[in-house]
Amino acid sequence: MKKMWEESLLQGELSRVKALELLELPTEGPEFEALLQAADTYSRNTFQGKGKIFAQIGLDWQPCSGGCQFCSLAAACGNQEGPFYRDPEETAALAGRLARSGGEDIFLMTTADYPREQFLSIIAAVRKAIPEGTRLVANTGDFDLAYARRLKEAGCTGAYHICRLREGVDTAIPLQRRMQTLEAIRDAGLELYYCVEPIGPEHTNEELVEEMLRIRDFPVGVMAVMKRVAVPGTKLAANGEIPSQKLAQICAVATLLCRPERAMGVHEPDRLCLRSGANQIYGEYGVNPRDTERNTEENRGYSLEKAQKLLEETGWSCQKGGVCND
């Protein structure tokens, strides 16, 4: 019976109704196990058993006007002494080392208030420092088509951009603005990296499916799911975090509903999720909205080495690289 359920989930496109039904399953028992197994089978076949490690560098530490109630960098959190901007040359050198140490795609992340021209120049510096063919991804505030084209000219191949869960309610940014940026990314020919995030215990299954479906009309090569970390000092920390079993369930449904072609990611790195559709995790460096330390690699962030170990332990082969000790 379990095998039959699993096989039926792999056939054809998943409907909204079916996705909701799967998210309603109790997080134990044969149907739940069949769901996780079906997503794992999809990903191991589609990604040919290959895991992916991305490397992200956070560039600035300052009170951000984005007003996200889950973020350590939001002005209301009061956690920053900034502004602090990471040095461009040192950033480019770190990006180069990460790209040569197993980081397949390099992400540069900023707050919503990072100076635009400065970001373009740091992208150009990083582009020169990483091997040709390495994907370079902007994770920054909202922008229009003209700026999306400039990101591409400076050396970006893609952008991580999302509508956060309860955007405009738990954040100070209107949903419409986020959508316009997604359209600019698509129209500029940048690869879009999407994620359903940051998932907390209060989010309904309907809200989760809505976010998964929002992006089905966009060309998305890399999809992901992310649980909200209860960062001390943030308003939403009081709601707590979802358990690993629930994140795995969401990961499996997102995998089967969105069927990403290049990779399926999970944050935080999670062993069960890497057996439930996910094949991609991050090594994280510098400032991070899910950390209160200025250099997340000294606290919560995974190193590339640790990410590689976890992927291999869950049966994914990784692009080999030397160990990066930054």
Interface size with ligand SF4, residues (CB under 6 A): 10
Q: Which residue has its beta carbon closest to ligand SF4?
A: 66
Residue whose CB is less far from ligand SF4, 62 or 249: 62
Instruction: Find the binder of ligand SF4 among 22, 35, 68, 226 (CB under 6 A).
Output: 68
Q: Does 126 bind ligand SF4 (CB under 6 A)?
A: no
CB burial of 172-208 (b: ≥16 within 10 Å; e: otherwise) equals bbeeeebeebbebbbebebbbbbbbbbbbeebebeeb
Strand-strand pairing, 191-193 and 220-227: parallel
Establish how many alpha carbons lie within 13 A of residue 135's alpha carbon, considering only the half-sphere containing its beta carbon: 24
Q: Does 64 bind ligand SF4 (CB under 6 A)?
A: yes
Decide: helix, strand or coil at residue 149: helix
Q: Does 198 bind ligand SF4 (CB under 6 A)?
A: no
Which of 146, 93, 154 shows the shortest CA–CA distance to 121? Answer: 154
Q: Does 289 bind ligand SF4 (CB under 6 A)?
A: yes
Residue whose CB is less far from ligand SF4, 51 or 265: 265
Entry field: residues in the chain = 326
CB of 61 to ligand SF4, least distance (A): 10
Q: Does 71 bind ligand SF4 (CB under 6 A)?
A: yes
Ramachandran area for residue 144 (φ above 0: left; ψ -120 to 50: alpha; else beta):
beta
CB of 284 to ligand SF4, least distance (A): 14
Q: Does 102 bind ligand SF4 (CB under 6 A)?
A: no
CB of 307 to ligand SF4, least distance (A): 22
Q: Does 159 bind ligand SF4 (CB under 6 A)?
A: no
Q: Does 286 bind ligand SF4 (CB under 6 A)?
A: no
Which of 206, 203, 130, 125 shows the shortest CA–CA distance to 165? Answer: 203
Do 231 and 198 meet the contact criterion of CB atoms below 8 Å apart?
no
DSSP state at residue 64: B
CB of 161 to ligand SF4, least distance (A): 11
Q: Does 66 bind ligand SF4 (CB under 6 A)?
A: yes
Footprint on this chain of ligand SF4 (rule: CB under 6 A):
64, 66, 68, 71, 73-74, 111-112, 171, 289
